[in-house]
Structure 1
Amino acid sequence: MKTVLWGKWVVGMVAGLLLSGCGADAVKTELPEPDNQEKAQEVQIAFLADIHLHDFLSAAENLDASELPVIADTRTSDQSTQGAQTPVLMRSMQAQLNSTRLFNENYFVFLAALDEIAAKGIKLVALPGDFSDDGQPANVRALADILAEYTDKYGMRFFAITGNHDPVRPFSRAGGKKDFLHRSGKEVAVMSPDHPDCLNQSAWQCSNALREWGYADIMETLKSQGFSPSSQDLLYETPFGTAEVSKRGWRWCDPESKSGESNSTEESNQIEESGKSCIFMPDASYLVEPVEGLWLLAIDANVYTPKGKVSSLEFNGSGNAGYNALVDYKPELLDWIAGVVKRAEKHNKHLIAFSHFPMADFYDNTQKQLAELFGDTGMQLKRMPSASTTQILSDLGLRLHMAGHMHLYDIAQPEDTGGLVNVQVPSLAAYQPGYSVVTLNNDGSAQVDTIIQQQVDRFDTLFPVYAKEWQYRNQAGLINWDKTILDTPDYLGFTDAHLKEVVRQRYVGREWPQPLATFIQSKTVGDALETLVCGNISRVTDEALLAMPAITLANDYYRMRNAGQFADLGGREVIYERLSDATLHCELPETAPVQTQQVRRFVKLLSNVAVSRDVTSITVKGV
């Protein structure tokens, strides 16, 4: 077993940490030499990222339902019970209007997307992480049941890989939320029995269904969805020489600890090694060949950095770690990936990699502008892969990587990545909701098309419950949301209304620099554009746009950032594209107020995003 001194891999990481592979050599599968036969044509794989499934029906089971909201149950085919009132455990509208994603309607759009994919005849579906809300038993089991139903009915196969929400931490822990809805419309806490709020009896109700599962339970429950080999697979391997879940991972050790500091138990994942306290850090990565000629490389890019000694079993979440941390914490995983790429080329296989985290820039080269305006850690810039990280990944030889995590659609082109194409698959639970389909071609290329989920039946099922919530908050004098969101006629309109409320309450409301936020909240578009073109705005736009509230610019920025050319701006994108040229002969004096400088920077950013909106499809060569 090879052991590597942590300090040699990266300066400034956890002092003295040791990393070793656990049977790190890949399975040495002997494959036949490539022949001259053409690969099968029209193999298609759908990618559904960031589903964040919360099954509000299953989660309500085993709770005292007397004060839970109720809806008409439409799941049963029994005519005698259809429409019967059934309890639900659902998050509040207030909560989801402060998040980058929806919490409840995910259930309906997930089923709609699966129905649409099935109707297209696509049999292979990959899930690049965050397939559940927070890895709770109720939601992971619900996901497994739903996927099994589509497998039985349509012959579809599913291949999942882990995200930062599943698991939230590598090992199971207490969970729950404090913003579930009571029947009256108020928010209540429902936690797992081992959560402090249940132990001190302050939680409204307690349920084991809301624990946050770790790797072992999630992978076992979803073993038929890619985490274990199937008899249908032509090839299945992991970086660890085994498919056994308990043996797939890395040993991380505290070399300075004394023998006897930790106990060796399965429950704690602590082990003794040469007098050192160590832990076994799971890794769910795998390679599968579901049909002849296609290799799907599922990369577990989660990195849960230790809080101090690894033997304390205290870890940070993986949300901001991504591949910047992976290149330091999982070097042997990179070695395995490089070997997979070489074997794929040797044996004439299409190789598509997918994982939860982006491998390349997802903000269309606007990172510098964003940092100047919102700070180095604003706009989730902590999640941006560095140029050196992207180069390391590109040097592995990967040509196509499908990612999630950011809840937006983006394509990083080869000229910006050294050859790697990184596609950010949009979330079904955010603006604009969609999924991506990769079609393999005989010439060794792949066509990547992203589809917006237009039709979602029953998306408004929970609206009557939200109406009670709004009424409760209004009567209680609480911060409230815009009730017109309940008037949206379709799911696309609902996600747009959701985005606008997140912009109002969270982005502009709390996260933007105060001078810029104050301007956007109180001025017009015309006021903003005057700062950009020194008052000469008639040649750039029309009176209708100039009279709109300035927050329209903020809404449109996030629409374009999240959806590229899928964003529906009513034609305003053409005007935004022209703004860049309008600034060429207009310079602000250095003494201009901070607010004016910030507004000008933002409008320039808006223009750059409009110009660089991502196309809706791309052909990738050499896949």
Structure 2
Amino acid sequence: MIFQKPLLPYLLMIGLTIAVSCAPIKSTTLEAIKIAVIADIHLSNVYGQLKDNDYMGLKNVENGKYAHIRTMESQLHSTRIFNENYFAFLSAMDNVVDRNIKYVILPGDFSDDGQPIHIRALKEILDHYTTTYGIKFFLITGNHDVVQPFNRRDGKTDFLGADGKAQPIMSQPGMYTSKQNKEHPVVISSDLQNLGYEEITRFLGDYGFFPKKEYLYWGTPFSEYNYENYSFHKAEQTADLTKRSHSIPPYGLPIPDISYLVEPVEGLWLLALDANTYTQKEKQGGDPSRQEYPNTGLGLNNLLKDKKYLLDWVCKVADNAKKMGKTLIAFSHYPMVEFNDGASPEMEELLVGSKMQLKRVPDKRVAQLFAQAGLKLHLGGHMHLNDTGVAVSDEGNTLFNIQTPSLAAYKPAFKILTLKEGGFAEVETIVMDSVPKYKEFFGLYHQEYTFLEHMKEGRIWNKEVLSSQNYGEFMEWHLKELVRLRFLPDEWPADFKDFLVGLSGKELLLLSMDNTSLPLHMVLKNLRDNPDKIKELSNSVKEKTRKIQAVTTHFEEWSGYDLLLDLYRLRSADRLALKDIGAQRTKQYRLIIDSILNNPSFQGKDDPIKRKMYLLASIFNKFLNGAPSDHFQLNLNSGTIISLKQPIYENE
């Protein structure tokens, strides 16, 4: 693997889980420490080689290299891309170097699905930046890194093969039968299996999972020594995974827990929480070789039930950090606080299907209990979105939850945590719009598109994706196509979606002013059948539009479809999306939203469409009015937050 440092001014870093103890930060030892957090990398080894098969991958005639990449079709139906994020990670690490940041935390989903071919690539990259630049990495696993606690057969059917066809690669024979004329014959390689805890930590053990002599302290929830009588020898003796396990029902099977506490520099404690939880299922009459241990993917919700000892350990660690004057930073893969700006109830009522992954919203008890444990700042991954959540416990303790975006989704960015004197913490979000080599596979995608056109597969992805001028634009196209191909068909009630996407912005504005008891579809029909009525209503709202420096014709430049797309922009990127939406469009949205929310005719439940419109306005309003999430400062002693970002428009 060749590492080439690009000349880029941007840095990237994605979401982990960080929590800071209630002890005031001591500037005497930690005043200048910056920590880069890169979560949800989902790294695929696009130029890797299979260790046990001669299949080299797909040749890219533009550079002569053979690549193992997934189809654009699969990328645009997934909540993450699989290929270009490889280059984004290398570019992010070069930005870390440029900023002279020496601590990097990867809080899970650092790999595609914990396959050997991808884990080897990650190790090579981490080794390079460690030996060349002296960067210290600290990792914890996510649901995509240890899919199940033990090795498990797996594979992917959607690698891109010659002539634009899909190329299935499976870890064992008999797992999949190729579709004639649409896919190439199956390639078999054990490099596509999912690795379990033992193998993942064997590959990546140098990055926090095991003690090192250079660490001032290293321990686990199962350690019997304490800070006062610590020695490297004692840590080594208890670091083996056989001594770091817990049992899961119904059979009491011991499952590793790779949580750890490390002090890499005097005064700084990093607490890595393995929040993965698993269930046990028997297959084929109890055959041990056919056992399944699926990851629940629910993170901290299940932790309270299946790993309560971790919460007890966090309480103990936070208490010790306070007594010893240590700055405690905890990280895990999952969020601790609701990340929808309080809109989860409305989303539950309005949406269908996966409901914007509402099942991943942590229970309120999670925030309450971790706040009581002494944690004040938590940065979470898993969700591929940017958000700041604030929770206050019954005792008055404030917990900030900072969700960081993924390099593999809109909007690609990272967080930098800077610890400051007096208990202040500055959080920066650095957007990665520019990534070298992000177009490296575009020629191969053209072949795929031509094949899909020939096969007449129905709705296929928009070829304009390949006209992206930078990585940021490419990731915006990823969201656009994800909304069109997956989210709108799967997450919205069909009647409401069809009604809304067919509206112009002007019609939405006029409908929002309706104060009759008529069903909204009848109001719309009356408007469309009566141009004079449209003119009359347009004149009546002139004063309101004038206040936002707009006229009603400006509302004709967009549709209900655009509003839904921008809702997903906000849901994914929060304040980072405002630049893409635009100040004037945002003001127009606010005018319509305020009109609906303050209109009594929308507050009943007799008309299903009006009710859904009210819920949509409420969700949009909450997304627009969340806590600062771009560049801000936290006072960890008082529990207050202030924005350090220049507003994009007045009253933002």
Report what 1:413 is aligned to.
390
Cα shift at 1:116: 0.4
**Aligned mate of 1:43, from 8, 15, 33:** 33
Structure 1 unaligned residues grouped into runs of 5+? 1-33, 73-82, 255-276
Does the 8 Å contact 2:72/2:445 carry over to 1? yes
Matched, 1:127 2:106: yes
Report what 1:368 is aligned to.
345
Q: 1:66/1:174 Cα in 2 relative to 1: closer, same or farther (>3 Å)? A: closer
**Aligned mate of 1:206, from 154, 164, 188:** 188
| CA distance, structure 2, for counterparts of residue 35 and residue 597 of structure 1 | 48
Report what 1:318 is aligned to.
296
Give CA deviations for 1:343-392 in whole Å, capped at 9, x if unaligned.
11111111111110000010000011101101595221111111122211
Matched, 1:352 2:323: no
What amino acid does structure 2 have at the position aligned with 1:374?
Answer: L
Cα shift at 1:519: 2.6
| CA distance, structure 2, for counterparts of residue 216 and residue 488 of structure 1 | 41
Cα shift at 1:527: 3.2
What amino acid does structure 2 have at the position aligned with 1:569?
Answer: I
**Aligned mate of 1:390, from 352, 367, 371:** 367
Does the 8 Å contact 2:58/2:160 carry over to 1? yes
Which residues of 2 match residues 410-489 of structure 1 at below 5 A?
A: 410-415=387-392, 418-478=397-457, 479-489=459-469
Does the 8 Å contact 1:560/1:613 carry over to 2? no
**Aligned mate of 2:573, from 533, 538, 563:** 563
**Aligned mate of 1:605, from 606, 619, 625:** 619
Does the 8 Å contact 2:150/2:195 carry over to 1? yes
Report what 1:261 is aligned to.
none
Report what 2:245 is aligned to.
249
TM-score, normalised to structure 1's length?
0.84
Cα shift at 1:622: 4.0
| CA distance, structure 1, for counterparts of residue 331 and residue 120 of structure 2 | 23
Give CA deviations for 1:152-210 in whole Å, capped at 9, x if unaligned.
11100111101000111111101111111112112221111256228999952111111
Q: 1:297/1:203 Cα in 2 relative to 1: closer, same or farther (>3 Å)? A: farther
Give CA deviations for 1:231-254 in whole Å, capped at 9, x if unaligned.
221111111122212321102354
Matched, 1:573 2:586: yes
Structure 2 unaligned residues grouped into runs of 5+? 1-23, 224-237, 515-536, 638-652
Matched, 1:177 2:151: no
Q: 1:394/1:40 Cα in 2 relative to 1: closer, same or farther (>3 Å)? A: closer
What amino acid does structure 2 have at the position aligned with 1:482?
Answer: N
| CA distance, structure 1, for counterparts of residue 435 and residue 218 of structure 2 | 35
Q: 1:37/1:507 Cα in 2 relative to 1: closer, same or farther (>3 Å)? A: closer
Report what 1:11 is aligned to.
none
Report what 1:301 is aligned to.
275
Runs of 4+ in 1 over 6 A off after TM superposition: 34-37, 198-202, 308-312
Report what 1:76 is aligned to.
none
Quick check: 457-466 or 390-399, which moved more?
390-399
Which residues of 2 match residues 5-44 of structure 1 at below 5 A?
A: 38-44=28-34
| CA distance, structure 1, for counterparts of residue 253 and residue 179 of structure 2 | 31
Report what 1:329 is aligned to.
306
Q: 1:326/1:203 Cα in 2 relative to 1: closer, same or farther (>3 Å)? A: farther
SS in 1 for 2:176: helix
Does the 8 Å contact 1:403/1:422 carry over to 2? yes
SS in 2 for 1:196: coil
What amino acid does structure 2 have at the position aligned with 1:516?
Answer: F
Which residues of 2 match residues 83-232 of structure 1 at below 5 A?
A: 83=63, 85-193=64-172, 196-197=175-176, 204-232=186-214
Report what 1:551 is aligned to.
561
Q: 1:548/1:450 Cα in 2 relative to 1: closer, same or farther (>3 Å)? A: same
| CA distance, structure 2, for counterparts of residue 62 and residue 137 of structure 1 | 12
Q: 1:444/1:182 Cα in 2 relative to 1: closer, same or farther (>3 Å)? A: same
Does the 8 Å contact 2:55/2:187 carry over to 1? no
Q: 1:441/1:37 Cα in 2 relative to 1: closer, same or farther (>3 Å)? A: closer
Report what 2:232 is aligned to.
none
| CA distance, structure 1, for counterparts of residue 494 and residue 467 of structure 2 | 31
Give CA deviations for 1:424-469 in whole Å, capped at 9, x if unaligned.
1111111110111111113233222121113211111111111111
SS in 2 for 1:38: helix
Quick check: 200-209 or 97-106, which moved more?
200-209
What amino acid does structure 2 have at the position aligned with 1:522?
Answer: G
Report what 1:618 is aligned to.
632
Q: 1:102/1:36 Cα in 2 relative to 1: closer, same or farther (>3 Å)? A: closer
Matched, 1:513 2:493: yes
Does the 8 Å contact 2:164/2:447 carry over to 1? yes
Cα shift at 1:518: 1.7
What amino acid does structure 1 have at the position aligned with 2:567?
Answer: Y
Percent pairwise identity: 37
Q: Does 1 or 2 have the higher relative contact order (CA < 8 Å, sep 6+)?
A: 2
What amino acid does structure 2 have at the position aligned with 1:46?
Answer: A
| CA distance, structure 1, for counterparts of residue 408 and residue 461 of structure 2 | 19
SS in 1 for 2:602: coil
SS in 2 for 1:510: helix
Give CA deviations for 1:119-158 in whole Å, capped at 9, x if unaligned.
0000100001000000000111100100110111110011
Report the aligned-residue RMSD: 2.7
Cα shift at 1:614: 3.5
